Amino acid sequence: MCGIVGYVGPRPSTDILLSGLARLEYRGYDSAGIAVIDDAGELGMRKRAGKLGILREDLARAPISDGTTGIGHTRWATHGGPTDGNAHPHLADEGKLAVIHNGIIENFAALKAELVSEGYDFVSETDTEVAAVLLGREYRANGADLEAAFRATVSRLDGAFTLLALHREHPGLVVGARRNSPLVIGLGEGENFLGSDVAAFVEHTRSALAIGQDQIVAITPGGVRVTDFDGDPVEVEPFEVTWDATAAEKGGWSSFMAKEVSEEPEAVANTIRGRISDGAVAIPELDGLDDLFRDIDRILVIACGTAAYAGQVGKYALEQWARVPVDVELAHEFRYRDPVLSPRTLVVSISQSGETMDTLMAVKYASERGARTLSICNTQGATIPRESDAIVYTHAGPEVAVASTKAFVAQITALYLLALHIGSVRGELTAVESAQHVRELEAIPAKIQRILDREQEHTTQLAHWMADTRSVLFLGRHVGFPIALEGALKLKEISYIHAEGFAAGELKHGPIALIEPGQPVFVIVPSPRESSQLHDKVVSNIQEIRARGARVIVVAEEGDAAVLPFADEVLRIPLAGPLFEPLLAVVPLHIFAMGLATAKGLDVDQPRNLAKSVTVE
Ligand code: F6R
């Protein structure tokens, strides 16, 4: 939520800020603004409600005086609606000081009352303006020392925040602070950057520093100073960004989502790469943890949204291959119910962004209560992996579209690698069994590619025919159940259509009442080659809904002829072992959601009311 960028150096900053904001717009896009100290030492500021394009047009029509020190913000509203006035930056100290903020300042009402009683005026409804006005007061109280004033200000704030500030009396200086909200430093030659994530500055430098919790940073063209909230210097971890700016660009695709769905094969392949040795899983990041994996008696997977559905798929593999009991829980529910945890509990968090506040808080809570934590994450330098005992990165590359697609298949892949690794360490899998599963996993990228090549046109066409549909149901069983949930979430999220996913077996316990003539229902059909007879049971479910008039679209294995008499449409996936089907069955559902949103003329990358990185609780 909210994207933040800061720049100091020799170059005019407006374009640098705007291009940084364009790369961060996925974080929030209901308003945007910049503040720049120009060469004459004046502070210029412009902010507008609406997407970044509106601010850009405004600045093109009436530019502000440019300068080499600046901050920029793209907003996802929390306190106060998305208006020009509530957009960031917020000014204080008679317009000489500008502040941008990501997060929520929980004690803003008490602070505001204190400042109002001292005669300070407010022009917005935001909690951010309270931080700005407080900083202005502290600036004067601390003899115009911006860093000292910043320390005094952040020590008064409760909640989660990344704050950046500049003051016209200090050209060439941007200060920042973070608590439970992301901020990274980009190191350039004679210039430095700050950003909510590396996308803010990756086109200028791939050299970065990760700032820890409760730390303050001051950047100047020649240097970077990081301290704790008491002003004591701290060491920060350097890292190299592993992807370049082109990876976060559309590159000729109609949308980021279209590009990212097309990258699903690569996301799986890159997550496997470097983690297989002589046909067995070898995850270098997990070296030295064998005793932990032998010792655990339970795995608790915590995540939100799509990442939680990946966790639900992973549960089947972890239980089957590693023979450890697994529970999957929504991160925001987890810590409010006094969960039972012990040092033998391994808490596996899954997060594309690595910044989801609910997941972060759940990880911290689990750690404080003695559980061991492992993060599956797609974003280097993010907070959740840094708060965890172990990390397995998914290598899906930057995911920009708000709806998660390639990260989902990468998360399942990472969970499968983890399950195979733990299963081998615990002696639950023989080398031969493990090698067979590894071969299946390695074959997945090509199979996803085959779906993209063969089914994309048909699925998109189907979505266009269904553009007026008001409700779609999704049914699945076993690993197909979380895929049904994912198909439904993706559809509601980007096409604003009512959609629900059910376990097919649950149908007769209530949801079948929803079926009326013409109701579209997607059914994910297990392979007929499976011994469990789930295929036949799902085909019976199809007949039950068909008899009540449902319009049935099945996702079924190539060659499965048993579904043909009962299906209005068939979307084919290549043959795969039962646990590997979800990595294939989800692909047509992603294509369908995207096709339907496109047919309705919606912005698939930036759906309404959402933001990619949910850094508020
Ligand atoms: C849905 C979607 C969300 C995220 C969820 C968790 O398409 O993208 O449901 O999966 O907000 O986000 P991360 O993985 O960043 O923790």
- Closest-lying ligand 1 atom to the alpha carbon of residue 407: 14
**Rounded distance from Cα 402 to ligand 1 centre (Å):** 8
> Under CATH, what is the fold of the domain 448-607?
Rossmann fold (3.40.50)
Task: Name the residue with the closest Cα to ligand 1, atom 5.
Answer: 305
From 26, 309, 356, the mutation candidate for ligand 1 (largest count of ligand atoms within 8 A of CB) is 356
Residues 6+ apart with CB under 8 A from 446: 265
Residues of the chain with CATH 3.60.20.10: 3-246
Residues of the chain with CATH 3.40.50.10490: 250-429, 448-607
Residues 6+ apart with CB under 8 A from 550: 473, 515, 518, 519, 520, 521
Q: Report whether the peptide linkage leading into residue 89 is cis, meaning its omega lies within 30 degrees of zero.
A: yes
**Rounded distance from Cα 615 to ligand 1 centre (Å):** 11
**Rounded distance from Cα 445 to ligand 1 centre (Å):** 22
pLDDT per 10-residue tile (average), the chain, 617 residues: 93 97 88 96 96 96 96 90 94 97 93 97 95 98 96 94 97 95 94 95 95 94 96 92 82 91 96 93 95 98 98 98 98 92 97 95 96 95 92 94 97 98 97 96 97 96 95 97 98 97 93 94 94 88 94 97 94 96 98 97 91 76
**Do residues 578 and 527 touch, judged by C-beta distance below 8 A?**
yes
Structure confidence at residue 514 (pLDDT): 93
Task: Characterize 172-199 residue by residue with b for buried, 16 or more Cβ atoms within 10 angstroms of its Cβ, and e for exposed.
Answer: bbbbbbbbbbbbbbbbbeebbbbbbbbb
**For the CA atoms of the chain, what is the radius of gyration?**
25
Ligand 1 contacts (CB < 6 A) are 304-307, 351-353, 356, 359, 403-404, 489-490, 493, 613-614
**Which residue in the list 315, 364, 406, 612 is annotated as catalytic?**
612
**Do residues 217 and 554 touch, judged by C-beta distance below 8 A?**
no
**Rounded distance from Cα 327 to ligand 1 centre (Å):** 19
Angstrom distance (rounded) from CA 455 to CA 378:
28
Task: Name the residue with the closest Cα to ligand 1, atom 10.
Answer: 306
Task: Name the residue with the closest Cα to ligand 1, atom 9.
Answer: 305
Domain 3-246 matching CATH 3.60.20.10: the answer reads yes
- At 199, is the secondary structure helix, strand, or coil? helix
Task: Name the residue with the closest Cα to ligand 1, atom 16.
Answer: 351
Structure confidence at residue 380 (pLDDT): 83
Token match 């009326």: residue? Answer: 516
Helix (H) or strand (E) holding 446: helix 431-465
**Rounded distance from Cα 239 to ligand 1 centre (Å):** 25
From 306, 329, 375, 612, the mutation candidate for ligand 1 (largest count of ligand atoms within 8 A of CB) is 306
Residues 6+ apart with CB under 8 A from 493: 402, 403, 593, 607, 610
Angstrom distance (rounded) from CA 312 to CA 503:
13
Q: What is the dihedral sign for C-alpha 307, 312, 316, 319?
A: positive
Determine phi and psi for 195, rounding to 5 degrees. -160, 155
**Do residues 572 and 548 touch, judged by C-beta distance below 8 A?**
no
Half-sphere exposure of 236 (CA within 13 A, CB side): 26
Helix (H) or strand (E) holding 166: strand 159-167
Residues 6+ apart with CB under 8 A from 61: none
**Which residue in the list 2, 259, 315, 377 is annotated as catalytic?**
2
CA proximity to 77, closest of 86, 85, 68, 69: 86
From 27, 333, 360, 404, the mutation candidate for ligand 1 (largest count of ligand atoms within 8 A of CB) is 404
Angstrom distance (rounded) from CA 206 to CA 189:
12
Which top CATH class is 250-429? alpha beta
- At 13, is the secondary structure helix, strand, or coil? helix
Residues 6+ apart with CB under 8 A from 93: 135, 136, 139, 140, 167
**Rounded distance from Cα 320 to ligand 1 centre (Å):** 26
Determine phi and psi for 572, rounding to 5 degrees. -95, 140
Task: Name the residue with the closest Cα to ligand 1, atom 3.
Answer: 305
Structure confidence at residue 126 (pLDDT): 94
- 612 catalytic residue (yes or no): yes
Q: Is 119 left (phi over 0), alpha (psi -120 to 50) or beta?
A: left
**Rounded distance from Cα 352 to ligand 1 centre (Å):** 7
Q: Widest CA span of the chain, in angstroms?
A: 81
Number of helical (H) and strand (E) elements in the chain, helices listed first: 17, 26
